[in-house]
């Protein structure tokens, strides 16, 4: 028995070393996505909170910025750490609810799921710290509620982890409410104890920066997120969002979760995990059903909490177990091939190379565009005073360009699609040059002159520079000279 436990411990250590090595091996080679570039840009300006998300992600980047680091992959290291510890906490949850074997499988299923691998443990996005803190809080809560432990260290840890969750993403609020009900259902006798209230006080501290920032900024962040669902029925968005959630999990993991939910919970632990998971899953999928602009990843932290239950059903499958494991391994391999091919195609255009300059409309890799090429083109064609006064029409282009310039030329945003840019002093600059990057197959090549007049600018000159992907033209960089309209008194 001791020998078996010894082997399992060594297997676990080996797995986490492999997890860490794989992430570090690819950290430089996965392109910087728009959300990451935007976060790196706005985090250079410290704030109590931020327009898009609670502040923890930006605070971490702000701290790293103080060392004048410009290599974006260094900023990803904390998120790899978050991902590894999330796998560890899922291992602990699986172990305490079922067995160490189930715990190991839970850690593996988290690691090989595309969304959790990337957004949950590599990209500079708040999902990594959210998943880490919620998985950790769930493990601690299991010990406090069902093991009747009352160690002050555990209560302090629970409060600290909940505070991290509240500082990470707004989805954590649903988890906090669900966890309170879990204590009420299973251990209500602790609700008025000193330890519970100390933990509660620590967790509430994570709400204060967001609340104070919103009070001071007309509740802009709360209003933004409150309006993110359009309540317009869109069948195509429903199918896309449901398919995306399955792909994010891996379809086989999704199947295991649905299979486990179809069965009656066998223990209080399973009921507990389902109670914590379902509010996030149900509420955000409800918004998906009634919206044409919702995002599939909003519910992912809920699915994460059901991975230990799915792992149990995988281990104890009575038929086709081997075939299912083989299929799961193949599906993970297919996901790796698809994602790797997409990244390579975004750099070379090899999939649609035979189309020449008649690139099909579905070939849109703008999210993975190499903005260093754009920055190099601009540096060669613009004067220093023009580079010092750049702007784009949206937050994601300005974020990507700023990072591509290694922060030497901060890029502002003109117009309503500025997100947190409107809260930093950068937008007080007198912009002289507008950069507008469009793909070659963009159909709505609209004239922006009238729109710019409403923003208080005149367009005085416009040149177009071709943008290549591999050896084929893929887009156009429009360099537009602009001047601020001075109103007469």
The predicted-structure confidence for 372-394, as pLDDT tens digits, reads as follows 999 999 999 999 988 999 999 99
Domain boundaries, the chain: 2-331, 366-484
C-alpha dist (Å) from residue 367 to 18, 149, 203, 357, 415 = 29, 48, 36, 20, 21
Q: Which residues pair with 480 in a beta bridge?
A: 434, 462
Q: Is the pLDDT of residue 11 over 70?
A: yes
**What does the block give as tokens for 16?**
């986490």
* Angle in degrees, 0-180, between the axes of helices 127-146 and 72-97, rounded to the nearest 10: 20
Residues 38 and 87: beta-carbon distance below 8 Å: no
Percent of the chain with pLDDT over 70: 93
The predicted-structure confidence for 63-80, as pLDDT tens digits, reads as follows 999 999 999 999 999 999
Residues 440 and 474: beta-carbon distance below 8 Å: yes
What's the chain's average pLDDT?
Answer: 89
The predicted-structure confidence for 166-200, as pLDDT tens digits, reads as follows 999 999 999 999 999 999 999 999 999 999 999 99
Q: Is the pLDDT of residue 324 over 90?
A: no
Strand 457-469 and strand 433-439: pairing? unpaired
Edge-to-edge strand list for the sheet holding 457-469: 412-413, 390-392, 433-439, 472-484, 457-469
Percent of the chain with pLDDT over 90: 65
CA 428 to chain centre: 29
pLDDT at residue 488 in the model: 47
pLDDT at residue 489 in the model: 43
Positive or negative, the CA dihedral 163, 169, 170, 173 is negative
Q: Is the pLDDT of residue 32 over 70?
A: yes
């Amino acid at each position: 028995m001791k020998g078996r436990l010894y082997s399992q411990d060594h297997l676990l250590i080996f797995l986490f070393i492999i997890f860490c090595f794989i992430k570090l091996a690819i950290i430089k080679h996965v392109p910087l996505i728009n959300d990451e570039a935007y976060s790196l840009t706005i985090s250079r300006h410290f704030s109590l909170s931020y327009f898009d998300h609670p502040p923890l992600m930006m605070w971490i980047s702000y701290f790293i910025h103080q060392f004048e680091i410009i290599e974006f992959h260094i900023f990803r290291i904390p998120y790899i750490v978050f991902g590894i510890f999330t796998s560890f906490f899922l291992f602990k949850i699986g172990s305490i609810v079922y067995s160490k074997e189930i715990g190991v499988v839970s850690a593996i299923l988290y690691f090989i799921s595309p969304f959790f691998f990337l957004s949950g443990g590599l990209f500079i996005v708040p999902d990594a710290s959210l998943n880490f803190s919620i998985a950790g809080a769930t493990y601690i809560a299991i010990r406090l509620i069902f093991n009747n432990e009352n160690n002050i260290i555990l209560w302090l840890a629970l409060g600290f982890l909940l505070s991290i969750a509240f500082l990470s993403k707004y989805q954590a609020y649903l988890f906090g409410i669900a966890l309170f009900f879990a204590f009420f259902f299973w251990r209500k006798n602790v609700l008025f104890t000193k330890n519970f209230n100390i933990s509660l006080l620590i967790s509430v501290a994570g709400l204060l920066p967001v609340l104070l920032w919103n009070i001071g900024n007309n509740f802009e962040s709360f209003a933004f997120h409150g309006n993110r669902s359009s309540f317009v029925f869109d069948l195509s968005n429903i199918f896309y969002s449901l398919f995306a959630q399955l792909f994010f999990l891996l379809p086989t993991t999704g199947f295991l979760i649905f299979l486990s939910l179809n069965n009656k919970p066998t223990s209080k632990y399973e009921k507990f995990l389902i109670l914590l998971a379902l509010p996030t899953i149900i509420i955000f999928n409800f918004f998906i059903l009634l919206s044409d602009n919702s995002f599939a990843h909003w519910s992912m932290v809920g699915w994460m909490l059901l991975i230990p239950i799915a792992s149990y059903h995988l281990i104890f499958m009575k038929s086709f177990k081997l075939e299912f494991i083989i299929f799961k391994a193949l599906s993970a391999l297919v996901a790796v091939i698809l994602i790797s091919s997409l990244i390579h195609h975004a750099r070379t255009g090899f999939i649609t190379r035979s189309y020449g300059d008649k690139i099909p409309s579905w070939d849109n890799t703008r999210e993975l565009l190499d903005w260093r090429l754009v920055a190099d083109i601009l540096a060669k064609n613009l004067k220093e005073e023009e580079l010092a006064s750049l702007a784009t029409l949206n937050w994601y282009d300005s974020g990507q360009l700023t990072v591509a310039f290694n922060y030497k030329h901060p890029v502002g945003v003109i117009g309503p699609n500025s997100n947190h840019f409107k809260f930093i002093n950068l937008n007080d600059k007198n912009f002289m040059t507008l950069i507008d990057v469009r793909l070659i197959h963009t159909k709505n090549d609209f004239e922006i002159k009238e729109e710019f007049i409403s923003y208080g600018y005149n367009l005085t000159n416009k040149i177009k520079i071709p943008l290549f992907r591999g050896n084929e033209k893929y887009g156009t960089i429009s360099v537009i000279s602009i001047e601020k309209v001075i109103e007469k008194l």
